[in-house]
Structure 1
């Protein structure tokens, strides 16, 4: 009985201490509060979403295997007068060099999805660097200079991965809406899922060889336009400088710049 009393007392004291800590942290000056948060967390995150007042979103298509549906996708984008961002790996670029050129000729851009699509967390810094540099050189040789946007395979990242990418001047990109097209749930499910979740600054993940991706986009793009959204390339959505990324949400935000509207 005594041990139960002590356990309850300890739990009460811990709850009280944590509560006081949260209260004090919330009432610190903004600068000191920020310093405390930095000291207690060194976790780095990619850009998941962009904080913007404008109704701009980016559709991104990842590709490692196959290009069966890519010509139709390009036609759909052309009909809707939009440009998007593709993330390709080395084997795709080597298998479909002419398609890569056609994509860029149509005004789209290609981001880096590594050369061999490995689990980057299991690699050394040097191996991660080689994956990025080798694939970026392949992209450059095929279609010319492209934005240094990088999406890690499997959405897998760590401080090591992000720091290597940063040292090579890459922005590491994730997504805020997963279309789940890779599960092949049907075009209606994909369209409804994105339509219900969409908001300014969202980054949508899709795949160039998804079975229902083209069908979904054919319906989705007019819907987005009717809602007042503008679909832009990722390089036109993300901030290039004077920004920070919230560690708990992955939202990329502008540092305070009076008079600017993003």
Structure 2
């Protein structure tokens, strides 16, 4: 056999082997992919569902909630309470454990005026970084301290920084709390000024029935902006109620946007990723 013929024969054998190896790889990956797909599709839907707090509420009533986070300072707390009282508005205050200990008289004043008292954790930590035991340790002491001061039993919880994951929401629920986020951020914490806060709330695209508005009792311009916000909301036809009156406490689900929906309101054609609560 000549060298050229031998070289041609070796080339053909190499190509045949490469084709065979490529074919084997394709077949292997095909069946592995099929196996993976079958395994994923066989998983229950709930295992892939994301647990969410309540960002807003699906309601036919023209109601919204104004909420205040109380973590630092109390310079404007009494001003805010006076404004709420003058306008016959009830709100929700989410308080940290440190704030409760430092300003017990303010806690009592908030309670005596008929507002919701909500839990904002003991130490304002990123809750998603904590274990289940640590989560309960962040929640329960605040509730106990508030109960000693007022006899009020807290069941509303707002995660500090809006930080949460599945295990935070599930554990908070197991500890007896509804986790509450917000759909309208006033951005009062950025200290842009009164007009900026008022505009951010009243012209927010998410301002609609069932909205939950985030404000802070310690922000620089909040107390000055609050009367204009209340007036503007009322002029738009909204009734301002505390979160405890806005949300559903049983027989509801939360859709993929964080909207709390009464179960009877879900139609047979609706397809959503939901957290079911019974």
| Superposed displacement of residue 196, structure 1 | 1.0
Cα deviation digits, residues 235-256 of structure 1 (max 9, x gap): 000000010001x200000011
The structure-2 alpha-carbon separation of the partners of 1:93 and 1:39, relative to structure 1 and needing over 3 Å to count, comes to closer
Where structure 2 has 5 or more consecutive residues not aligned to the other structure, the ranges are: 1-41, 267-278
Is residue 71 of structure 1 aligned with residue 65 of structure 2?
no
2-structure distance, mates of 1:196, 1:241: 32
2-structure distance, mates of 1:80, 1:147: 25
Q: Which residue of 1 aligns with 2:235?
A: 226
RMSD of Structure 2 on Structure 1 (CA): 1.7
TM-score if structure 2 supplies the norm length? 0.77
Is residue 203 of structure 1 aligned with residue 203 of structure 2?
no
Contact map agreement 1:109 1:146 (CA 8 A) in 2: no
| Superposed displacement of residue 163, structure 1 | 1.0
| Superposed displacement of residue 39, structure 1 | 5.2
Alignment of 1:74-113 (within 5 A): 74-113=81-120
2-structure distance, mates of 1:200, 1:148: 23
The structure-2 alpha-carbon separation of the partners of 1:239 and 1:195, relative to structure 1 and needing over 3 Å to count, comes to same
Q: Name which of 216, 221, 245 aligns with 2:225.
A: 216
The structure-2 alpha-carbon separation of the partners of 1:177 and 1:257, relative to structure 1 and needing over 3 Å to count, comes to closer
Q: Which residue of 1 aligns with 2:151?
A: 144
Describe the SS at the equivalent of 1:215. Answer: helix
Which sits farther off after the overlay, 134-143 or 35-44? 35-44
Q: Which residue of 2 aligns with 1:245?
A: 254
Alignment of 1:11-90 (within 5 A): 38=45, 41-90=48-97
| Superposed displacement of residue 37, structure 1 | 8.8
Q: How many residues align?
A: 223
Q: Which residue of 1 aligns with 2:263?
A: 255
Is residue 114 of structure 1 aligned with residue 158 of structure 2?
no
Larger Rg: 2
Contact map agreement 2:143 2:154 (CA 8 A) in 1: no
Cα deviation digits, residues 103-139 of structure 1 (max 9, x gap): 1111112100011111111111101111111111111
| Superposed displacement of residue 218, structure 1 | 1.2
| Superposed displacement of residue 142, structure 1 | 1.2
Task: Choose between structure 1 and 2 for higher RCO, CA contacts under 8 A separated by at least 6 residues.
Answer: 1
Contact map agreement 1:59 1:232 (CA 8 A) in 2: yes
**What stretches of structure 1 move > 6 A for 4+ residues in a row?**
none
1-structure distance, mates of 2:77, 2:183: 23
